[in-house]
Amino acid sequence: MGKDSEFYKEKKNHQTMRLRELLKQLPGFVADYIYSKEMTSQTSTLVSYCYDLLTFFNYIIEKNPMYNGKKPVDFRLDILTKITSEDIAEYQRYLELDVSSDSKTIHENGKKAIARKMAPLRGLYHYHLIHKNIKEDPTVLVPLPRLKKDKNIIRMNNYEVQAILDAIQNGNDQMTERQRKFCERTQQRDLAILTLMLGTGIRVSECNGLDITDVDFKVNTITIVRKGGGQDVLYFGDEVHDVLKDYVDGERASIVPKAKPGHEKALFFSMQGKRMSVDAIEKLVKKYAQIAVPNKHITPHKLRSTYGTALYRETGDIRLVADVLGHENINTTINYYAAIEDEHKREAANAVNFHRKDPKA
């Protein structure tokens, strides 16, 4: 159950093996930095750091003829002292947009992605600076892209929520008969997934990791594994209970799971009898959103936004929203739902009226 399930054990082992494979491709001084982050970071985060640092060193090899024929693992620590702030700035521009000489590879990233990809490089320099392995850190001289806080968070209103759920049951007039029959085969599952996500605000990865043993219909709870690896228990309402129970007793009961560790107890199965993947859930949401809400870019995270917004409207308790959504830092929640505060301010403008009489009357 939860983080002790076979699925999460297998997932953790896979990530650990992938991390070890990537570290073999990187210099020893990078491995030292990565190892220093093991106690405070998830393995999946460290895997991403390795990919980003490999991108940087491959960029050095590609752009500087002096290093032609080398591999990232061949670099020594003194490479960090040879890189200037101008080199770092040029690398950021490379991340923003660059086409390879053969015109086959395109690097294109937005400001948020660039800032994320620069984080491990800046961390690498900072680690060796504080350990006195280098004397200067050129990354601090290069400002990161300025990220604007977006108050126009995409979410769905009640009408749109009903429309997307109705789309699962009724489909689309543009569907072929074959498509309609296919959707009917997974109707209970699809309705259960979207209703659960809209009714609890869980992340797509948390939904993907659910086992049947994580659901308690007696007290209406699910046990989930959070983004940071911690375990949490969330409550769900009667509507979620009914839809989820129909699926468990109906479509799911007729599925023969594939004999693979971590799949046999999955809550949501694909047509092949395997655990529904993150990609499959994302495509599922996108499919029905295009039918019901074609003018909005709806993703699983937007379902989470919709739930969080509705909960804040009903309770006005930002700490409760942060707790239910699993935000470790409440500032994340405050920034995320700042748009609702603006709505409250607009409502306040007309809330007080002294009904002053017209002196000419």
The CATH number for 52's domain is 1.10.150.130
Q: Identify whether residues 124 and 176 lie together within a single domain.
A: no
**Count of CB atoms within 10 A of residue 284's CB?**
20
Q: Identify whether residues 212 and 246 lie together within a single domain.
A: yes
Confidence band of 146 (pLDDT split at 50, 70, 90): confident
Q: Identify whether residues 206 and 285 lie together within a single domain.
A: yes
Residue 103, pLDDT above cutoff 70: no
- Look up residue 45 and give its amino acid: T
Residue 174 lies in a domain: yes
What is the share, in percent, of the chain residues with pLDDT greater than 90?
55
First to last CA, the chain: 74
Residue 359 lies in a domain: no
Q: Identify whether residues 319 and 180 lie together within a single domain.
A: yes
Rounded-to-integer distance, Cα 251 and Cα 249, Å? 7
Residue 232 lies in a domain: yes
Residue 153 lies in a domain: no
Q: Is residue 227 annotated as part of the catalytic site, yes or no?
A: yes
| Secondary structure, 3-state, the chain | CHHHCHHHHHHHHHHHHHHHHHHCCCCHHHHHHHHHCCCCCCHHHHHHHHHHHHHHHHHHHHHCHHHCCCCHHHCCCCHHHHCCHHHHHHHHHHHHEEECCCCCCEEECCHHHHHHHHHHHHHHHHHHHHCCCCCCCHHHHCCCCCCCCCCCCCCCCHHHHHHHHHHHHHCCCCCCHHHHHHHHHCHHHHHHHHHHHHHHCCCHHHHHCCEHHHEECCCCEEEEECCCCCEEEEECCHHHHHHHHHHHHCCHHHCCCCCCCCCCCECCECCCCCECCHHHHHHHHHHHHHHHCCCCCCCHHHHHHHHHHHHHHHHCCHHHHHHHHCCCCHHHHHHHCHHHHHHHHHHHHCCCCCCCCCCCC
Q: Which of 29-43, 81-95, 152-166, 171-185 shows the lowest mean pLDDT across its residues? A: 171-185
Residue 57 lies in a domain: yes
- Per-residue confidence (pLDDT) for residue 343, from 0 to 100: 59
Q: Identify whether residues 179 and 291 lie together within a single domain.
A: yes
Q: Which of 8-12, 122-126, 141-145 is predicted most confidently? A: 122-126
Q: pLDDT of 262-286, one tens digit each?
A: 678 999 999 888 999 999 999 999 9
Mean pLDDT in residue range 232-242: 95
Q: Is residue 252 annotated as part of the catalytic site, yes or no?
A: no
Question: 97 - beta bridge partners?
Answer: 108
Q: Identify whether residues 170 and 70 lie together within a single domain.
A: no
Domain boundary among 80, 106, 141: 141
49, 34 contact by CB (below 8 A) = yes
Mean pLDDT in residue range 295-306: 90
**Structural domain of 187:** 158-348
Decide which of 91 and 68 is more confident. 91
Confidence band of 34 (pLDDT split at 50, 70, 90): very high
Q: Identify the active-site residue in 70, 227, 258, 265.
A: 227
Q: Identify the active-site residue in 304, 307, 312, 337.
A: 304
Q: pLDDT of 336-354, one tens digit each?
A: 666 566 555 555 555 555 5
Q: Is residue 20 annotated as part of the catalytic site, yes or no?
A: no
Q: pLDDT of 242-258, one tens digit each?
A: 999 999 999 999 988 87
What the block records as the tokens of 240 is 């979620």
CA-based nearest residue to 308, from 230, 229, 211, 234: 234
Q: Identify whether residues 202 and 170 lie together within a single domain.
A: yes
- Per-residue confidence (pLDDT) for residue 358, from 0 to 100: 58
Q: Identify the active-site residue in 117, 203, 252, 302.
A: 203
Domain boundary among 115, 141, 167: 141
Confidence band of 27 (pLDDT split at 50, 70, 90): very high
Residue 149 lies in a domain: no
Domain count, the chain: 2
138, 259 contact by CB (below 8 A) = no
Q: Which of 145-154, 188-197, 215-224, 345-354 shows the lowest mean pLDDT across its residues? A: 345-354
Rounded-to-integer distance, Cα 95 and Cα 55, Å? 9
Q: Identify whether residues 191 and 254 lie together within a single domain.
A: yes
Residue 357 lies in a domain: no
Residue 46, pLDDT above cutoff 60: yes
Q: Identify whether residues 121 and 181 lie together within a single domain.
A: no
Q: Identify whether residues 241 and 332 lie together within a single domain.
A: yes
Q: Is residue 304 annotated as part of the catalytic site, yes or no?
A: yes
Residue 296 lies in a domain: yes
Q: Is residue 93 annotated as part of the catalytic site, yes or no?
A: no
Q: Is residue 189 annotated as part of the catalytic site, yes or no?
A: no
What is the share, in percent, of the chain residues with pLDDT greater than 70?
86
Q: Identify whether residues 267 and 211 lie together within a single domain.
A: yes
Residue 22, pLDDT above cutoff 90: yes
Domain boundary among 109, 141, 173: 141
The CATH number for 254's domain is 1.10.443.10
Q: Identify whether residues 168 and 250 lie together within a single domain.
A: yes
